[in-house]
Amino acid sequence: MLSLGLVAVATATLIFCAGASPIKRDAAKGPLALVIQNNTPSSNVSVYFTARDPNGGDVFLGSNGQWTSTCAGRSGSGMQPIPATLIAYRLKQAGSVTPITLPRGMVSGRMYTSINGLDFFTVDGCGLVQPYFQDQGSANYVKNWGFLEFTLTQTDLWVNPTSIDFVGLAHGFVVETPKGNMTTMGMAHGAVQTVCDRMHNITKQTGDLAWSSLCLSSNGIPVRVVGPEHHDDPKALASYWQSYVDAVWTKYRNQPLHVDTQGASGIVDCQVRGDIMFCDNEQFAKPNSSDIWGCASGTFANAGSGKHIALAARISAAFHRGTLLLDGGDKQPFKNADLFYSDKTVNHYAKAVHDVVSDGRLYAFPYDDVNAYAVDASGTISSGDVTRLFIGVGGPVH
């Protein structure tokens, strides 16, 4: 039961398929009311909002409650810090809620949250330098922080809890609408420790130190677990998928792979000839591990026809989940989610992320929104009729 003052309607989890659009409304709406719950044990939690305006300029939510251009009042060259008094919103004590009003009309937004603050900068006057989880020279590197992504147009809201890059400070959210509430649970407080423990267990089982070294600790306490694509050592997982890819190519040299594009192209039959997988008039060379981890390079580059992109997304997702060699794996997207990650060669990071989320829904790799039956695993919510957005920092909204 929610205790943040939501209207007394039944809470339901709504599922969206990849590429789904929210209900459109013609009339622009007023600012979005946020209610942010501090579910951490800390009373030193801050939130920060960044986005891009309709002209593509960098903006942040200023202390005056308005979107503020990074160019405003700034000039000169080099890196200049943005004072916390201009950009940080300090949450109330642990267990409390803090209301914030978010003006509309912005895209590519992020809400950063941190215990003990984050540093933001501008470069050469206007460019916004946001926290980067792999910048070891930054004071932000060893801090406990995280972010969620959003777009807030004049009529619609999209909000996405992503763990593609890393698992850090957890978030959950509830989108309140007149017809009911849409919930993404997110991770519980302490999820970083849980995911880190699982990575250490994978190392114990496989002898591969690459998995345990995805964990970053500060003073002996895990603060972040990065995704495999971002391993500090580019060679660590560089050949991880090679044997699995070879086995997939062998299997589908002898039988077709049926891929439902879940769109205009329908079901496409693919088969390997030589070292190329042919899918009608589309072709896929053997992917290397980097192509699979990032889902954006080589044969899985987000380029080409709509059919190619749809095929690449579904085949890439099948690699991460290890379903291509299973019984029934010749039909993708694979229908039995209970068998995701059951092969020995899978994205163990993604499995751990989904395992520690109570509803299993969170982006853990770029095509995690690919599923049969329009069943969503990503946790993304969109709505054109949102009343309020409730966000739990450090754990699910309750």
Q: Is the pLDDT of residue 76 over 90?
A: no
The H or E element that residue 293 is part of is: helix 289-294
Instruction: Give the pLDDT confidence score for residue 378 in this predicted structure.
Output: 80
Average pLDDT of the residues in 341-364: 92
How do residues 107-166 score in pLDDT, each as one tens digit?
999 999 999 999 999 998 789 999 999 999 999 999 999 999 999 999 999 999 889 999
Distances (CA, A) of 54 to 51, 68, 73, 107: 10, 13, 20, 8
Average pLDDT of the residues in 81-108: 95
| Domain ranges across the chain | 11-187+377-393, 191-230, 242-344
Residue 379 phi/psi, 5° resolution? 85, 0
- Do 298 and 288 touch, CB atoms closer than 8 A? yes
Q: Is the pLDDT of residue 23 over 60?
A: no
**Position 6 confidence tier, pLDDT thresholds 50, 70, 90:** very low
Q: Is the pLDDT of residue 316 over 60?
A: yes
Instruction: Give the pLDDT confidence score for residue 151 in this predicted structure.
Output: 95
The H or E element that residue 52 is part of is: strand 45-52
Q: Is 363 exposed, middle or buried (0-12, 13-18, 19+ CB in 10 A)?
A: buried
What one-character-per-residue DSSP string does 192-238 give? Answer: HHHHHHHHHHHHHHH--HHHHTTEEEETTEEEEEE-GGG-SSTTTTT
The CATH code belonging to domain 11-187+377-393 is 2.60.110.10
Distances (CA, A) of 141 to 18, 100, 117, 133, 364: 33, 27, 12, 6, 21
The SS3 call for residue 248 is helix
Q: Is the pLDDT of residue 18 over 60?
A: no
The CATH superfamily of 242-344 is Beta-1,3-glucanase, C-terminal domain (3.30.920.50)
Instruction: Give the pLDDT confidence score for residue 21 in this predicted structure.
Output: 34
pTM of the model: 0.89
Residue 80 phi/psi, 5° resolution? -130, 130
Q: How far apart, in whole angstroms, are the C-alpha atoms of residue 99 and residue 37?
A: 9
Q: How far apart, in whole angstroms, are the C-alpha atoms of residue 75 and residue 143?
A: 29
